[in-house]
Amino acid sequence: MSDLQQALKLHRAGDLDGAEAAYRALLIENPDDTDALHLLGVVLHKRGDAARAEESIRDALMRDPECAQFHLSLGGVLMQQGRDDEAHAAFERALELDPNAPEAHALLGFVHARSGDLSAAEERFKIGRRAEADDPLLLLGLGNLYLARDQPDNALKFLARAAENKPEDASIQFSLGRAFFEQGNFAFADKAFENALRLDPAMSRARLFRGRVCVREKRLADAQAIYGDLLARNEQQFGALAGLGDVARHRGHVLRALKFYRRALAIEPNNPGAANACAWCLEQLGDLSGAAEFLSGALQRAPDADWVRTPLAGLLERLGRGEEAARVRAG
């Protein structure tokens, strides 16, 4: 077994420290080893060191600019840094070099999805599937796209296949859990989120959704423990505070719920859901004017949140402000 193969073995086993040391040892002997430079960048990317990862992969590309995989890896690092235009160019270059690379089609689709262009993302995922119909990354992309469109049944068709083809992928397990959650299948959702956390213990989103599952299943003590743990870790602060508000609300503690919802709204002032939760609490406490004020502010900050109009108009009518309610309903 060559030194590079031994380094790859460490890499694939998840021993990132050992793999990094092995790649660096190879580069001491041969600074122009493009595979070692590229794979060192991949390890650094995995560890969250985007700047050094980019430097190492660009060094590999400088020596071998015609390698599609190097361009793909560079694009992934650029995406991590939010440099989506540069990532898009890197993925397009990878496709020029290898038009049938399913990963390039998938990553281009993810770039389109992040920009909000779901139609372009869907087209890219479908083009990629012509080359490799069961590629897990393409299936994940389509599943996430249908989740964004509030079509969990369609999402589940793709995500279940993705999980079958790549069961040890935390991101796929997380999206699978979301699809089950949106379907109302909370037991399966919880199992998928548990799998995601087993594969990636740092995935705080999966922890947050497990809390939401517990709330839906009325396991309020478990939910409270999960949300409290997230706050202690300084992770998913908005979701954890809103979740603690939900726990208090289910227990009938309206004032306590309002406290948590207000703290959540302070983190995301433009979130209409948090404003609506605050309004609900004030309505329960008999403060209709305060509730209307929360909803009116939410609509001003998020004009596209049309679902806020109906409860706001209802409050205004109860307050005797019929003309104002009519204007709200009319948009």
> 50 is written with which tokens?
């985007």
Q: What's the CA dihedral at 57, 62, 66, 67 to 10 degrees?
A: -20
Same domain, 123 and 93: no
Residue 284: its pLDDT value, please? 96
In a domain, 148, yes or no: yes
Same domain, 58 and 139: no
Same domain, 176 and 125: yes
Range 83-86, long-range pairs (CB < 8 A, 24+ positions): 84/111, 84/114, 84/115
Rounded mean pLDDT, 258-284 = 96
Residues in the chain: 331
In a domain, 32, yes or no: yes
Distance in angstroms (rounded) separating the CA atoms of residues 315 and 324: 10
Among 99, 134, 151, the domain-final residue is 99
Tens of pLDDT, residue by residue over 296-324, are 999 999 998 899 999 999 999 999 999 99
Same domain, 80 and 134: no
pLDDT above 70 coverage of the chain, percent: 100
In a domain, 73, yes or no: yes
Same domain, 77 and 135: no
Tens of pLDDT, residue by residue over 151-170, are 999 999 999 999 999 999 99
Among 167, 184, 202, the domain-final residue is 202
Q: Is the pLDDT of residue 277 over 60?
A: yes
Residue 288: its pLDDT value, please? 95
Least confident of 7-16, 24-33, 198-207: 7-16
Q: Is the pLDDT of residue 2 over 80?
A: no
In a domain, 127, yes or no: yes
In a domain, 255, yes or no: no
In a domain, 252, yes or no: no
Rounded mean pLDDT, 114-134 = 91
Tens of pLDDT, residue by residue over 68-118, are 999 999 999 999 888 999 999 999 999 999 988 899 999 999 999 998 899
Q: Is the pLDDT of residue 331 over 90?
A: no
In a domain, 161, yes or no: yes
Same domain, 194 and 164: yes
Residue 12: its pLDDT value, please? 82
Among 172, 202, 232, the domain-final residue is 202
Residue 197: its pLDDT value, please? 97
Q: What average pLDDT does the structure give for the chain?
A: 93
Number of domains in the chain: 3
CB-CB neighbours of 302 under 10 Å: 16
Same domain, 22 and 55: yes
Same domain, 64 and 126: no
Residue 7: its pLDDT value, please? 78
Same domain, 292 and 321: yes
B/e letters for 31-65, b = 16+ CB within 10 Å, e = fewer, are eebbbbbbbbbbbbbeeebbeebbebbebbbeeee
Between 206 and 40, name the one with better pLDDT: 206
Q: Is the pLDDT of residue 1 over 70?
A: no
Residue 47: its pLDDT value, please? 85
Give, in degrees to the nearest 5, the angle at Cα 288 between 287 and 293: 100
In a domain, 22, yes or no: yes
Same domain, 7 and 87: yes
Rounded mean pLDDT, 43-54 = 89
Instruction: Give the chain as a 3 state SS string.
Output: CCHHHHHHHHHHCCCHHHHHHHHHHHHHHCCCCHHHHHHHHHHHHHCCCHHHHHHHHHHHHHHCCCCHHHHHHHHHHHHHCCCHHHHHHHHHHHHHHCCCCHHHHHHHHHHHHHCCCHHHHHHHHHHHHHHCCCCHHHHHHHHHHHHHCCCHHHHHHHHHHHHHHCCCCHHHHHHHHHHHHHHCCHHHHHHHHHHHHHHCCCCHHHHHHHHHHHHHCCCHHHHHHHHHHHHHHCCCHHHHHHHHHHHHHHCCCHHHHHHHHHHHHHHCCCCHHHHHHHHHHHHHCCCHHHHHHHHHHHHHHCCCCHHHHHHHHHHHHHCCCHHHHHHHHHC
Distance in angstroms (rounded) separating the CA atoms of residues 81 and 90: 14
Confidence of residue 279 (pLDDT cuts 50, 70, 90): very high
Residue 167 domain boundaries: 118-202
Domain of 283, CATH number, reads: 1.25.40.10
Tens of pLDDT, residue by residue over 239-255, are 999 999 999 999 999 99
Report in angstroms the alpha-carbon separations of 311 from 286, 295, 297. 15, 8, 13
> 246 is written with which tokens?
């939900």
